[in-house]
């Protein structure tokens, strides 16, 4: 379960970390909070200071580059926006969780779906925010819905019966 959030919301953010980082890299890092995009379990690229977003541009292929970092793979410019909006002073795990929670809350119906245990509806509501979610459409690896639901349950979330 999330260190900072409880209930279904904590389980949902843990599921996002599972989706974005993967279980092996979560275990090889500070629960994903210090992971730089492009990391693998065999070759983790981890940052050591939470004073600020690492601001590292990583080339992931001929036509793809990213500054994503942390458990939720937050882009540098997204961090800068929410840092000001939420009056954050750093990129600590708590700050990353607050950003993820705010991003989720800004999507219509997402928080209500999470509270009600409608995980699939919540994923649909936020899928364009995280490339690893099914249906995100960024041409990157997308994690299957059944794997995400299991990660959510493993993190203590409750799924409402259909």
Residues 2, 10 contacting (CB under 8 angstroms): yes
Q: What is the pLDDT of residue 63?
A: 83
| 133 or 7: which leads in pLDDT | 133
> How far apart are alpha carbons 153 and 158 in whole angstroms?
6
3-state secondary structure of 60: strand
CB 37 within 8 A of CB 66: yes
Averaged pLDDT, 70-83 = 98
Rounded Cα gap, residues 151 and 26, in angstroms: 13
Determine the 3-state secondary structure of 112 from DSSP. Answer: helix
Give dist(CA 147, CA 126) in Å, integer: 17
Task: Give residue 2's pLDDT band: very low, low, confident or very high (50, 70, 90).
Answer: low
Question: Which residues participate in catalysis according to the annotation?
Answer: 20
Whether 75 shows a pLDDT value over 90: the answer reads yes
pLDDT tens-digit profile of 115-131? 999 999 999 999 999 99
Mean pLDDT, residues 11-20: 96
Q: Which structural domains are found in the chain, ordered by start?
A: 7-154 (1.10.530.10)
């Amino acid at each position: 379960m999330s260190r900072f959030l409880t209930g279904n919301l904590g389980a949902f953010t843990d599921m996002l970390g599972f989706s974005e980082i993967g279980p092996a890299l979560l275990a090889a890092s500070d629960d994903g909070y210090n992971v730089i995009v492009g990391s693998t379990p065999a070759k983790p690229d981890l940052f050591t200071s939470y004073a600020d977003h690492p601001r590292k541009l990583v080339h992931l292929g001929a036509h793809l580059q990213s500054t994503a970092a942390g458990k939720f793979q937050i882009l540098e410019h997204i961090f800068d926006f929410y840092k000001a909006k939420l009056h954050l002073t750093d990129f600590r795990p708590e700050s990353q969780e607050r950003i993820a929670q705010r991003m989720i809350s800004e999507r219509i119906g997402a928080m209500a779906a999470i509270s009600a245990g409608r995980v699939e509806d919540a994923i649909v509501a936020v899928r364009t925010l995280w490339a690893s979610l099914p249906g995100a459409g960024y041409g990157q690896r997308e994690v299957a819905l059944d794997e995400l639901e299991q990660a959510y349950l493993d993190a203590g979330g409750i799924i409402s019966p259909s």
